[in-house]
Amino acid sequence: MSPIQPTQIKPKNFKFVKANAMERLPFEDNTFDFVFQRYMFTGCIKKKWPDLINEIVRVLKPGGFLEVSFRPSKMFDLGPATQHLFNGLTELLEQGGLDSDIYQKLDNYLQNQGQLENIKKEVKQWCKV
C-alpha cells in the first residue's frame, strides 16, 4: 500500500488501515459483512495459507461474504519466449516459499477452514490477443 492515500476522492465513512493479515488484523471478531482479498499469492508463503484464511474469516460476520481473487498462475497458449519467462517466474516464486498454483488449491483451503459455506470457484481464461 502506498504511504500516501487519496483524501479528496474517498467517502467520509471510509478510512485506510494498513495492517498485516499474516499477524493479526486490527479488527474485532465478526466485524465485516464483506471481505475482499486479492493478489495475495506473492505475499503469503505456502504453509501460512490456512492461517491467513482463518484470520480473514475471524473478522467476517456470520453469514458474511468473502471474495478472493487471483490472477491465475497458469496461462494458456504462450509463445516460447513468454513460456520461458513464465517458467522462470514460477521457479522464483517456489524458491521463495510461495505457491505459484495457489489458485488451484484455494477452494480446498476455504473448504477445510470449517466456517465457510456455499464456496464457489470461478476460473476465467485470459483473452488471447
Domain extents for the chain? Answer: 1-129
At 17-34, the pLDDT tens digits run: 888 888 899 999 999 999
SS (H, E, C) 57-126: HHHEEEEEEEEEECCCCCCCCCCHHHHHHHHHHHHHHHHCCECCCHHHHHHHHHHHHCCCCCCCCCCCCC
pTM value is: 0.72
94's grid cell? 517456489
Looking at per-residue pLDDT, the higher value among 69 and 52 belongs to 52
**pLDDT tier for residue 76 given thresholds of 50, 70 and 90:** low
CATH fold for the domain made of 1-129? Rossmann fold (3.40.50)
113's grid cell? 477452514
Cα separations in angstroms, 49 against 10, 99, 107? 31, 9, 11
> How much is the pLDDT for 32?
95
Report whether 72 contacts 41 (CB < 8 A): no
